A and B are shown apart, each in its own frame.
Chain A
Amino acid sequence: MAESSGSGGGGVPISALSLEQLGRAKESLEQETQHLVSSLQTLNGVRERFLESRRCLEALAGYRAGDRVLVPLTSSLYVEGEFTDTSEVIVDVGTGYFIRQGVGAAEKFMDRKVAFLAENLQRIQEVVNVKKRQQEALLAEMHKRILSQQQQQQQQGQSSQGPSRGGSASSSS
Protein backbone atom coordinates (compact mmCIF):
# COMPACT_ATOMS: atom_id res chain seq x y z
CA MET A 1 0.00 0.00 0.00
CA ALA A 2 1.46 3.33 -1.01
CA GLU A 3 2.71 5.13 2.02
CA SER A 4 2.99 8.37 0.13
CA SER A 5 -0.21 9.86 1.49
CA GLY A 6 0.33 13.56 0.89
CA SER A 7 -2.05 14.61 3.62
CA GLY A 8 -0.39 16.63 6.31
CA GLY A 9 3.22 15.90 5.49
CA GLY A 10 4.21 16.59 1.92
CA GLY A 11 4.34 20.37 1.89
CA VAL A 12 0.76 21.18 2.90
CA PRO A 13 0.75 23.21 6.14
CA ILE A 14 -1.05 21.47 8.97
CA SER A 15 -3.32 24.46 9.54
CA ALA A 16 -4.80 23.98 6.06
CA LEU A 17 -6.20 20.53 6.82
CA SER A 18 -9.60 19.65 8.17
CA LEU A 19 -10.01 17.82 11.46
CA GLU A 20 -10.88 14.65 9.59
CA GLN A 21 -7.76 14.82 7.45
CA LEU A 22 -5.65 15.42 10.53
CA GLY A 23 -7.15 12.35 12.17
CA ARG A 24 -6.41 10.21 9.15
CA ALA A 25 -2.85 11.47 8.86
CA LYS A 26 -2.26 10.74 12.53
CA GLU A 27 -3.57 7.20 12.13
CA SER A 28 -1.43 6.53 9.11
CA LEU A 29 1.62 7.81 11.02
CA GLU A 30 0.75 5.57 13.94
CA GLN A 31 0.63 2.55 11.67
CA GLU A 32 3.97 3.39 10.09
CA THR A 33 5.52 3.89 13.51
CA GLN A 34 4.22 0.55 14.77
CA HIS A 35 5.59 -1.19 11.72
CA LEU A 36 9.00 0.43 12.22
CA VAL A 37 9.08 -0.41 15.92
CA SER A 38 8.38 -4.04 15.14
CA SER A 39 11.22 -3.99 12.59
CA LEU A 40 13.46 -2.59 15.30
CA GLN A 41 12.60 -5.49 17.55
CA THR A 42 13.32 -8.04 14.83
CA LEU A 43 16.68 -6.46 14.04
CA ASN A 44 17.58 -6.39 17.70
CA GLY A 45 16.83 -10.10 17.93
CA VAL A 46 19.09 -10.80 14.98
CA ARG A 47 21.83 -8.68 16.52
CA GLU A 48 21.55 -10.71 19.73
CA ARG A 49 22.02 -13.93 17.75
CA PHE A 50 25.19 -12.67 16.14
CA LEU A 51 26.51 -11.51 19.51
CA GLU A 52 25.75 -14.96 20.86
CA SER A 53 27.67 -16.59 18.02
CA ARG A 54 30.53 -14.24 18.71
CA ARG A 55 30.60 -15.31 22.35
CA CYS A 56 30.60 -18.96 21.28
CA LEU A 57 33.60 -18.35 19.08
CA GLU A 58 35.46 -16.81 21.97
CA ALA A 59 34.56 -19.77 24.15
CA LEU A 60 35.77 -22.10 21.43
CA ALA A 61 39.27 -20.78 21.90
CA GLY A 62 39.46 -22.74 25.10
CA TYR A 63 39.10 -26.09 23.42
CA ARG A 64 41.53 -28.23 21.43
CA ALA A 65 41.22 -31.22 19.15
CA GLY A 66 40.37 -34.29 21.18
CA ASP A 67 38.42 -32.45 23.87
CA ARG A 68 35.13 -34.09 24.76
CA VAL A 69 31.89 -32.30 24.02
CA LEU A 70 28.17 -33.08 24.12
CA VAL A 71 26.63 -32.82 20.66
CA PRO A 72 22.90 -32.04 20.47
CA LEU A 73 20.92 -34.31 18.16
CA THR A 74 17.63 -32.73 19.17
CA SER A 75 16.77 -30.11 21.75
CA SER A 76 16.66 -32.81 24.43
CA LEU A 77 19.01 -35.50 23.13
CA TYR A 78 22.78 -35.27 23.23
CA VAL A 79 25.59 -37.64 22.36
CA GLU A 80 29.20 -37.53 23.38
CA GLY A 81 31.60 -36.29 20.78
CA GLU A 82 35.08 -35.01 20.29
CA PHE A 83 36.40 -31.79 18.79
CA THR A 84 38.34 -32.48 15.63
CA ASP A 85 39.61 -29.07 14.74
CA THR A 86 38.79 -26.01 16.78
CA SER A 87 40.74 -23.59 14.66
CA GLU A 88 38.20 -23.47 11.83
CA VAL A 89 34.45 -23.00 11.68
CA ILE A 90 31.85 -22.99 8.91
CA VAL A 91 29.85 -19.77 8.80
CA ASP A 92 26.43 -19.21 7.21
CA VAL A 93 26.74 -16.08 5.11
CA GLY A 94 23.25 -16.13 3.62
CA THR A 95 21.33 -17.43 0.58
CA GLY A 96 22.56 -20.97 1.23
CA TYR A 97 26.28 -20.20 1.13
CA PHE A 98 28.67 -21.24 3.87
CA ILE A 99 32.32 -20.37 4.28
CA ARG A 100 34.84 -22.44 6.18
CA GLN A 101 37.31 -20.10 7.77
CA GLY A 102 39.50 -19.60 10.76
CA VAL A 103 37.98 -18.55 14.05
CA GLY A 104 39.61 -15.12 13.73
CA ALA A 105 38.02 -14.44 10.34
CA ALA A 106 34.68 -15.74 11.65
CA GLU A 107 34.87 -13.39 14.62
CA LYS A 108 35.49 -10.49 12.27
CA PHE A 109 32.47 -11.59 10.24
CA MET A 110 30.28 -11.54 13.34
CA ASP A 111 31.61 -8.12 14.28
CA ARG A 112 30.84 -6.79 10.82
CA LYS A 113 27.26 -8.07 11.01
CA VAL A 114 26.72 -6.62 14.46
CA ALA A 115 28.08 -3.24 13.33
CA PHE A 116 25.90 -3.30 10.21
CA LEU A 117 22.83 -4.08 12.32
CA ALA A 118 23.68 -1.39 14.87
CA GLU A 119 23.89 1.16 12.06
CA ASN A 120 20.52 0.19 10.64
CA LEU A 121 18.96 0.12 14.09
CA GLN A 122 20.08 3.67 14.63
CA ARG A 123 18.77 4.88 11.29
CA ILE A 124 15.38 3.32 11.89
CA GLN A 125 15.27 4.72 15.41
CA GLU A 126 15.80 8.19 13.99
CA VAL A 127 12.96 7.76 11.53
CA VAL A 128 10.74 6.58 14.38
CA ASN A 129 11.64 9.69 16.36
CA VAL A 130 10.80 11.96 13.44
CA LYS A 131 7.44 10.28 12.97
CA LYS A 132 6.66 10.55 16.68
CA ARG A 133 7.33 14.28 16.55
CA GLN A 134 5.05 14.61 13.52
CA GLN A 135 2.34 12.72 15.38
CA GLU A 136 2.64 15.08 18.35
CA ALA A 137 2.39 18.09 16.06
CA LEU A 138 -0.77 16.65 14.50
CA LEU A 139 -2.28 15.90 17.91
CA ALA A 140 -1.57 19.44 19.10
CA GLU A 141 -3.26 20.88 16.02
CA MET A 142 -6.24 18.57 16.49
CA HIS A 143 -6.66 19.67 20.11
CA LYS A 144 -6.52 23.29 19.03
CA ARG A 145 -9.26 22.72 16.46
CA ILE A 146 -11.53 20.83 18.84
CA LEU A 147 -11.11 23.51 21.50
CA SER A 148 -11.88 26.33 19.09
CA GLN A 149 -14.90 24.41 17.76
CA GLN A 150 -16.19 24.01 21.31
CA GLN A 151 -15.67 27.70 21.99
CA GLN A 152 -17.55 28.65 18.83
CA GLN A 153 -20.46 26.44 19.80
CA GLN A 154 -20.59 27.99 23.27
CA GLN A 155 -20.62 31.50 21.83
CA GLN A 156 -23.38 30.63 19.39
CA GLY A 157 -25.36 29.07 22.21
CA GLN A 158 -25.07 32.27 24.30
CA SER A 159 -25.96 34.64 21.48
CA SER A 160 -29.08 32.75 20.52
CA GLN A 161 -30.26 32.77 24.15
CA GLY A 162 -29.69 36.54 24.40
CA PRO A 163 -32.96 38.26 23.44
CA SER A 164 -35.53 35.77 24.69
CA ARG A 165 -36.08 36.71 28.33
CA GLY A 166 -39.22 35.40 29.93
CA GLY A 167 -39.81 32.73 27.39
CA SER A 168 -42.06 34.57 24.93
CA ALA A 169 -41.38 36.16 21.53
CA SER A 170 -39.87 34.92 18.34
CA SER A 171 -36.74 32.88 18.91
CA SER A 172 -37.55 29.34 18.10
CA SER A 173 -34.64 27.41 19.62
Chain B
Amino acid sequence: MTQKQLQEFQRRLDAELNEFKEQQKLGSKLAGQRSQMTTQLNENEMVKQELVLIQEGSQIYKLIGPVLVSQDKEDAMAVVEKRLEYLNGEISRLDKQIKDVETKQDQHRERIMEIQQQAQAAVQKQQQQQHR
Protein backbone atom coordinates (compact mmCIF):
# COMPACT_ATOMS: atom_id res chain seq x y z
CA MET B 1 0.00 0.00 0.00
CA THR B 2 1.43 3.32 -0.94
CA GLN B 3 1.99 6.14 1.47
CA LYS B 4 -0.80 8.03 -0.21
CA GLN B 5 -3.25 5.15 0.27
CA LEU B 6 -2.26 4.91 3.93
CA GLN B 7 -2.92 8.58 4.41
CA GLU B 8 -6.27 8.24 2.70
CA PHE B 9 -7.36 5.52 5.10
CA GLN B 10 -6.15 7.54 8.06
CA ARG B 11 -8.00 10.60 6.82
CA ARG B 12 -11.28 8.74 6.41
CA LEU B 13 -10.86 7.11 9.81
CA ASP B 14 -10.22 10.44 11.49
CA ALA B 15 -13.25 12.00 9.84
CA GLU B 16 -15.56 9.24 11.04
CA LEU B 17 -14.04 9.28 14.52
CA ASN B 18 -14.58 13.01 14.84
CA GLU B 19 -18.19 12.76 13.79
CA PHE B 20 -18.67 9.90 16.24
CA LYS B 21 -17.27 11.98 19.08
CA GLU B 22 -19.52 14.89 18.13
CA GLN B 23 -22.53 12.62 18.34
CA GLN B 24 -21.38 11.33 21.71
CA LYS B 25 -21.09 14.85 23.07
CA LEU B 26 -24.53 15.69 21.76
CA GLY B 27 -25.90 12.51 23.28
CA SER B 28 -24.52 13.43 26.68
CA LYS B 29 -26.01 16.90 26.52
CA LEU B 30 -29.43 15.58 25.52
CA ALA B 31 -29.35 12.96 28.25
CA GLY B 32 -28.61 15.67 30.81
CA GLN B 33 -31.52 17.78 29.60
CA ARG B 34 -33.84 14.85 29.65
CA SER B 35 -32.86 13.99 33.19
CA GLN B 36 -33.50 17.57 34.29
CA MET B 37 -36.94 17.58 32.65
CA THR B 38 -37.79 14.29 34.32
CA THR B 39 -36.91 15.72 37.70
CA GLN B 40 -39.16 18.71 37.12
CA LEU B 41 -41.90 16.43 35.86
CA ASN B 42 -41.79 14.39 39.05
CA GLU B 43 -41.82 17.49 41.23
CA ASN B 44 -44.86 18.87 39.42
CA GLU B 45 -46.63 15.52 39.67
CA MET B 46 -46.16 15.64 43.43
CA VAL B 47 -47.53 19.18 43.63
CA LYS B 48 -50.54 18.11 41.59
CA GLN B 49 -51.21 15.26 44.00
CA GLU B 50 -50.99 17.58 46.97
CA LEU B 51 -53.37 20.07 45.37
CA VAL B 52 -55.87 17.28 44.81
CA LEU B 53 -55.62 16.18 48.42
CA ILE B 54 -56.08 19.48 50.19
CA GLN B 55 -59.15 19.98 52.27
CA GLU B 56 -61.68 22.70 51.64
CA GLY B 57 -60.70 25.97 53.18
CA SER B 58 -56.97 25.49 52.85
CA GLN B 59 -55.33 28.49 51.27
CA ILE B 60 -52.86 28.06 48.42
CA TYR B 61 -49.94 30.41 47.91
CA LYS B 62 -47.40 30.77 45.15
CA LEU B 63 -43.93 32.15 45.76
CA ILE B 64 -43.40 35.00 43.32
CA GLY B 65 -40.07 36.60 44.11
CA PRO B 66 -40.05 37.20 47.88
CA VAL B 67 -43.84 37.29 48.10
CA LEU B 68 -46.34 34.55 48.83
CA VAL B 69 -49.29 35.35 46.63
CA SER B 70 -52.67 33.82 47.27
CA GLN B 71 -53.87 31.46 44.53
CA ASP B 72 -57.12 29.91 43.49
CA LYS B 73 -57.18 26.13 43.62
CA GLU B 74 -58.42 25.91 40.02
CA ASP B 75 -55.79 28.34 38.80
CA ALA B 76 -53.02 26.48 40.56
CA MET B 77 -54.21 23.15 39.18
CA ALA B 78 -54.44 24.59 35.68
CA VAL B 79 -50.91 25.98 35.84
CA VAL B 80 -49.47 22.73 37.12
CA GLU B 81 -51.32 20.69 34.49
CA LYS B 82 -50.05 22.96 31.73
CA ARG B 83 -46.50 22.60 32.98
CA LEU B 84 -46.87 18.83 33.10
CA GLU B 85 -48.08 18.81 29.50
CA TYR B 86 -45.17 20.96 28.40
CA LEU B 87 -42.64 18.80 30.23
CA ASN B 88 -44.06 15.59 28.78
CA GLY B 89 -43.86 17.08 25.30
CA GLU B 90 -40.28 18.16 25.81
CA ILE B 91 -39.28 14.74 27.11
CA SER B 92 -40.78 13.00 24.05
CA ARG B 93 -38.98 15.43 21.77
CA LEU B 94 -35.68 14.80 23.56
CA ASP B 95 -36.25 11.05 23.39
CA LYS B 96 -36.60 11.25 19.62
CA GLN B 97 -33.42 13.30 19.34
CA ILE B 98 -31.55 10.87 21.57
CA LYS B 99 -32.67 8.00 19.37
CA ASP B 100 -31.40 9.85 16.30
CA VAL B 101 -28.04 10.40 17.93
CA GLU B 102 -27.78 6.72 18.81
CA THR B 103 -28.58 5.70 15.25
CA LYS B 104 -25.92 8.05 13.93
CA GLN B 105 -23.40 6.69 16.42
CA ASP B 106 -24.13 3.16 15.21
CA GLN B 107 -23.66 4.23 11.59
CA HIS B 108 -20.32 5.82 12.38
CA ARG B 109 -19.21 2.77 14.31
CA GLU B 110 -20.03 0.56 11.35
CA ARG B 111 -18.19 2.78 8.90
CA ILE B 112 -15.16 2.92 11.18
CA MET B 113 -15.07 -0.87 11.26
CA GLU B 114 -15.44 -1.04 7.49
CA ILE B 115 -12.53 1.35 6.98
CA GLN B 116 -10.37 -0.63 9.40
CA GLN B 117 -11.21 -3.88 7.61
CA GLN B 118 -10.47 -2.38 4.21
CA ALA B 119 -7.14 -1.08 5.48
CA GLN B 120 -6.26 -4.48 6.92
CA ALA B 121 -7.21 -6.25 3.69
CA ALA B 122 -5.03 -3.87 1.67
CA VAL B 123 -2.07 -4.45 3.99
CA GLN B 124 -2.48 -8.24 3.75
CA LYS B 125 -2.73 -8.12 -0.03
CA GLN B 126 0.48 -6.12 -0.18
CA GLN B 127 2.28 -8.59 2.12
CA GLN B 128 1.18 -11.50 -0.07
CA GLN B 129 2.48 -9.76 -3.18
CA GLN B 130 5.83 -9.11 -1.53
CA HIS B 131 6.24 -12.74 -0.47
CA ARG B 132 5.72 -14.05 -3.98
Contacts and interface: CB of A to CB of B under 8 A. Distances in A.
Interface centre among A1, A95, A102 (most CB of B within 10 A): A95
Contacts of B40: 95
Contacts of A94: 43-44, 46-47, 50
Which of B54, B64, B83 has most chain A Cβ within 10 Å? Answer: B54
| Majority secondary structure, A binding face | strand
Interface string A99-110: 111100100010
A96 to B, nearest CB: 4
Contacts of B128: none
Given A2-B31, A90-B68, A97 B60 contact: yes
Interface of B is mostly: helix
B130 interface: no
Nearest to B71: A97
Interface in A100-148: 100-102, 105, 109
A12 interface: no
Interface string A1-20: 11000000000000000000
A98 interface: yes
B76 interface: yes
A100 B102 CA distance: 47
Given A94-B46, A99-B50, A1 B61 contact: no
A65 interface: no
When A and B form their complex, which 9 residue pairs have the shortest distance between CB atoms, in order from nearest?
A: A100-B59, A98-B61, A93-B50, A96-B63, A101-B58, A94-B47, A94-B43, A95-B47, A93-B47
